[in-house]
Chains A and B, each alone.
Chain A
Amino acid sequence: MIFFKDIYLLFRRHLRKALRAPVWLLMGLMQPVLYLILYMPLLKSMGATALLPTGEIVRVFVPGMLVIMAMGGLFAGFSFIDEIRTGIIARWLVTPTSRVGVILSLICNQLLTLFFQACILLVIALFLGLHVSLIGIALTLVLILMIGITMSSLSYAISLSVKDEGILASITNTFYLPVMLLSGIMLPISFAPRWIKIAAHFNPFYYAVEASRSLFAGDFGSHIVLFGFGVIFVFSLVALSLAVRALNKMAV
């Protein structure tokens, strides 16, 4: 109980901070919304291919955008490093507060932001002609939030060990683009040449994108859905434990 109370107390503080400078909310939202508005029509007007009828394009494109958004959690470390520097994190760690709680409160805040952004994106997508069941959306949101946990935990773990925005930026930039491209976010990997397909199978986010496409298509029981949830679940636990470990041995 005390554990949840501490998470709640710290979470309220993060929320207060986020609301005082609401630019953060927009930053993660801009990129996917621009893709949706300025790029997706391009795909549409290229006309239907045999594999991807025009009506399907929105349904295939939007899950990818949601995953991109969730991967933005990778940038959570930047404001975290700033907070480490002000000594506020150390101050919390010296109180009897649970250390897992400190990390979880930060992650909860990331997830809330992500949830709002995802909802806004979905509303825009509905206007652009998305047809999808409520269960499909709900399950996809769960998956997206799990990716959010994975990415922000990883970002916190890296931040705690490097404590430098420059190094964090070069690490995230090195990983972000290849991981994104190899998950078939823009177009399904099934269009890709064989070697890219093979490479994609080593990328956990490929399964996440495929799983959410299946969910959007109403294919709830398919293997890829189960597999996607499984992979991301395992990854989120691993990432979370890395972050907690890094926090425990952080040298302030």
Chain B
Amino acid sequence: MNEAILKTTKFCKTFSSGRGKKIKLVEAVKGVDLEVKQGEIFGFLGPNGAGKSTTLNMLTTLLAPTDGKAVVAGFDLLTQPEKVREQIGYVSQAGGADGFSSAFENLVLQARLYGISATDAVSKANELIGRFQMKEFALREANTYSGGQKRRLELALGIVHRPSLVFLDEPTTGLDPQSRAYFWEEILRLKKEGMTVFLTTHYLEEADHLCDRVAIIDHGTIVVQGTPQELKREIGSESIIVDFAMDKELEQAKLLFESMQNIKKIFAQENKLYLFVQDGGGMIAEVLRVLDKEKIPVSTIGLSRPSLDDVFLQKTGRSLREDKN
């Protein structure tokens, strides 16, 4: 097994806003233990406000943790932040491209800030412009870029200095499917070139497709951590999703299924019932038969293969998909 390139122990962040009696505390990150291995793509999956960006800001030396320790790229985060900065790259959720400069100017300055000489910085910038297909707009002010073009520049800015570990905060949020596919390819290419990638996302497909290992975070705590396969195997099942027209029917059905032996777990959300079973194909007929016998009408019924959404649902009792809508 590979060595760890990042390790956190009981990592915490509590924000306080207001003063005196009106002070408000927000526990954004509560005792997170993470381990990222050299050369992998690690996914941090969680809904809005889960604490993903806060964790990343702490790991990239932008924000002091309230408690806990971390070793990032071989250096202690709290005692050697300067060393950490030399080793890592960060593309924040906001992006951070300079709108008043062109892609070329942005890249040259970024390279220079990492101590790369003027001539090397220029060739580095040109190389990245080629690599991320930015020729067409590289000399225009970044204020004029489309969302996807800007995001490409920002990814390039994060890796000018070939960091051993790069943090990407929601690299594909707001992109169309085609651009997303393009980013996925580029992120996989970073891994091939030996970089370790730590990315956050709320797209399950993204975590599933890209990541060697994922950690699911919710309300500042790690719910579960492992490879997507492991996590899905842990549920070990497919789910039957039954859609009801009325709450009363759902409650009725839930009672009914709770006594059925072959159903391992049941969740209700909105007016859907999620039934986790071993053999979905066989059980779906059984489920329909039971419902029919009790004369409970069903709007739709479907079978879904185990996904990270099911993992999230099982661990938190909520569906990540529903959260987003």
Contact = CB atoms under 8 A, between A and B. Distances in A.
Interface of A: 2, 5-6, 9-10, 13, 16-17, 20-21, 85-88, 90-97, 249-252
Contacts of A85: 94
Interface stretch (B3-11, B84-92, B194-202, B263-271): B84-92
Q: Which of A88, A93, A249 has most B Cβ within 10 Å?
A: A88
- Which of A6, A16, A90 has the most chain B CB atoms closer than 10 A to its own CB? A90
B95 A87 contact: yes
Contact count band on B = 20 to 34
A90 B92 contact: yes
A19 B169 CA distance: 32
Interface in B76-109: 82, 85-86, 88-90, 92-101, 105, 109
B73 to A, nearest CB: 13
Contact of A13 (B90, B109, B114, B157): B109
Given A16-B105, A86-B95, A88-B98, A95 B63 contact: no
Contacts of A251: 15, 57, 63
A59 B255 CA distance: 91
Interface string B96-126: 1111110001000110111100000000000
Q: Which 5 pairs of residues, A with B, have the shortest CB-CB distance?
A: A87-B94, A87-B96, A91-B96, A17-B100, A95-B113
A86 B96 contact: yes
Contact of B101 (A5, A13, A95): A13
B62 A252 contact: yes
B96 A96 contact: no
B296 interface: no
B290 interface: no
B60 A96 contact: no
A94 B100 contact: no
A17 B114 CA distance: 21
Tell me which of B62, B63, B105 has the highest count of chain A C-beta atoms within 10 A of its own C-beta.
B62
Contact of A96 (B63, B82, B101, B157): B82
A91 B157 contact: yes
A110 B37 CA distance: 45
B61 interface: yes
A88 B60 CA distance: 14
A96 B115 contact: yes
A64 B113 CA distance: 40
Contacts of A9: 109, 112-113
B64 interface: yes
Contacts of A96: 82, 85-86, 113-115
A81 to B, nearest CB: 13
Contact of A94 (B15, B88, B98, B105): B88
17 contacts: A9-B109, A13-B101, A17-B101, A85-B94, A86-B94, A87-B92, A88-B98, A90-B62, A90-B92, A91-B90, A91-B92, A91-B96, A93-B61, A94-B85, A94-B90, A252-B62, A252-B63
A93 B84 CA distance: 12
A21 B157 CA distance: 24
A97 B86 CA distance: 10
A249 B64 CA distance: 7
B97 A86 contact: yes
Nearest to B57: A252
Chain A CB within 10 Å, residue with most, of B94, B99, B101, B105 = B94
A30 to B, nearest CB: 23
